[in-house]
Structure 1
Amino acid sequence: MAKAIWGINPILEYLRHAPEKIEEIVISKKELRGKVHQIVEKAKKLGLPVRIKKDFAPPGIPPEANTQGVVAYLKEFDYAELEELFRRAKERGEKPLFLALDEITDPQNLGSLIRSAVAAGAHGIIIPKHRAAGITGTVVKVSAGAVSHIPIHQTKNLGRLLEDLKERDLWIAGLDARAGSTIYQLDLDLPLTWVVGSEGKGLRPSIREKCDFLAAIPMRGPLDSLNAAIAGAIALFETIRQRYYR
């Protein structure tokens, strides 16, 4: 079965930016108004198949999902080649800014990180093939459709890929709560890959060793850590601040 995504905004984003990846859209008849009606009209103009169902029970949807009466089935997700990430930076005339994720297993965190990366203008995301969340309907929903805006590369060996990036003149920066320097003390205006570790364990030692430098996010309150999605977003936007808003 094709991969399902759901919700008005994620599907509108796919219709605007990646309609070729949609196989079919299924609509609840009782929700056929407003933005759902816009989805139907846009899909028909693009020549995409649309089914309007009185009995709306599309398969492949988690029972807790809020579909808003609209589901799209996608072709198999097309992970990007690494070169596509570099090409995105070159087309914009910018220093590469990538986000690499080390065993992020929570789809909610992955979706949030993708959304933040797109909002920050990052050029691509790198995720491991094993022991990590991949692109699912939940990830697309949480990202509010941002998945359709950024190339996502999947690798079998994150450590080796980070070495390859270093050979191509990118600096590798790891987020680590125990680091001696903070993200605000480092010069981030350079070709850069941020590496964010898993929700519970942080960066694996083997990945930490690949980093050119480690940085912490300083906290003055009683808590000593942030979740992966928030930490990654802060690092990305501090990079953007240093590059463009000094």
Structure 2
Amino acid sequence: MAGGQKDVVFGFHAVTSVLRMRPHEIYDVWVDKSRVDQRAQLVLETARTRNIPVHHVGRSTLDKMAECDRHQGIVAKCQVSKGMPEKDLIPFIEKIEGAAFILVLDGIQDPHNLGACLRSANAAGVDAVLMPKDRAVGLTATVRKVASGAADITPIFQVTNLVRALKQLKDQGVWLTGLAEEATTSIYNSKLTGSIGLVMGAEGKGLRRLTRDTCDDLVNIPMAGQVESLNVSVAAGVCLYEVVRQKMINNHV
């Protein structure tokens, strides 16, 4: 494969996911030459069966490629992932069978937080993740590593105008519930069945004003201790699984 911008994916979950979901976008795979264990061999065999070049190198080379030492001894170079085309958002929503479940991330800056949110979103069964193209961390190698493959198997839409996209979701019958510290209603007292768009704000700043104003309602996570708030990825996990809990109860009524 030649041409195009190159991206780096590292870690076993992330590399395995790319090999499985979009092998045609991988240029080559680089592995620590000291790794001869079964886990490494399975990944390398998968790469070879797809005619993807494999290079055995020293760990220091992988450190430079991944720009960190947490690559688990495996790195892949592939085309830059841009997520799902923005123009496909509404057709995608229209094709969802049953109630839609969307996670909206408004300007998350930290790649570890975004990766953790994507992992939780996939585990909770969301249909798609929506986030802005600008003023937010993109789908970096660290995001993919932390997401443990979720960044490559969860539909992700990076949109130019988040508020406009939210209004399009509302037009499709998606109820937007935003998480905000100042909200007076607990998430545990909010109805989260039907088509739901769960909207999370950025670290520290929370939801931007226009995003907050576009939500149909706002909820909070009650704090029982002295801390005032949770990390955004932890808060996302709490909220996602409250939606899951309510949907499970509703489906058994």
Whether TM exceeds 0.5 here: the answer is yes
In the TM superposition, what is the alpha-carbon distance from 1:15 to its structure 2 partner? 2.1
**What does 1:67-86 align with in structure 2 at a 5 Å threshold?**
67-82=71-86, 83=88
What SS is found at the alignment partner of 1:98? Answer: strand
What SS is found at the alignment partner of 1:30? Answer: coil
The equivalent residue for 2:8 is 4
What SS is found at the alignment partner of 2:214? Answer: coil
The equivalent residue for 2:66 is 61
**What does 1:1-246 align with in structure 2 at a 5 Å threshold?**
2-54=6-58, 57-58=61-62, 59-62=64-67, 64-82=68-86, 83=88, 87=92, 90=95, 93-245=97-249
Q: Cα–Cα, structure 1 residues 218 and 86, in superposed 2: closer, same or farther, change >3 Å?
A: farther
- Distance, in Å, in 2 between the alignment partners of 1:3 and 1:148 is 13
- Distance, in Å, in 1 between the alignment partners of 2:248 and 2:205 is 33
Q: Cα–Cα, structure 1 residues 128 and 197, in superposed 2: closer, same or farther, change >3 Å?
A: same
In the TM superposition, what is the alpha-carbon distance from 1:32 to its structure 2 partner? 2.9
Contact 2:82 2:139 in 1 (8 A): no
- Worse-matched range after superposition: 81-90 or 159-168: 81-90
- Distance, in Å, in 1 between the alignment partners of 2:185 and 2:147 is 30
Contact 1:96 1:191 in 2 (8 A): yes
Which residues of structure 1 form unaligned runs of 5+? none
2:112 partner amino acid: Q
Percent identity, aligned pairs only?
34
Question: How many positions carry a matched residue from both structures?
Answer: 244
Aligned Cα root-mean-square deviation (Å): 1.9
Contact 1:84 1:151 in 2 (8 A): no
In the TM superposition, what is the alpha-carbon distance from 1:148 to its structure 2 partner? 1.4
What SS is found at the alignment partner of 2:243? Answer: helix
What SS is found at the alignment partner of 1:142? Answer: helix
- Distance, in Å, in 1 between the alignment partners of 2:219 and 2:241 is 14
In the TM superposition, what is the alpha-carbon distance from 1:41 to its structure 2 partner? 0.7
- Distance, in Å, in 2 between the alignment partners of 1:128 and 1:60 is 27
Contact 1:31 1:68 in 2 (8 A): no
In the TM superposition, what is the alpha-carbon distance from 1:193 to its structure 2 partner? 0.8
1:36 partner amino acid: A
What SS is found at the alignment partner of 1:130? Answer: coil
In the TM superposition, what is the alpha-carbon distance from 1:46 to its structure 2 partner? 1.8
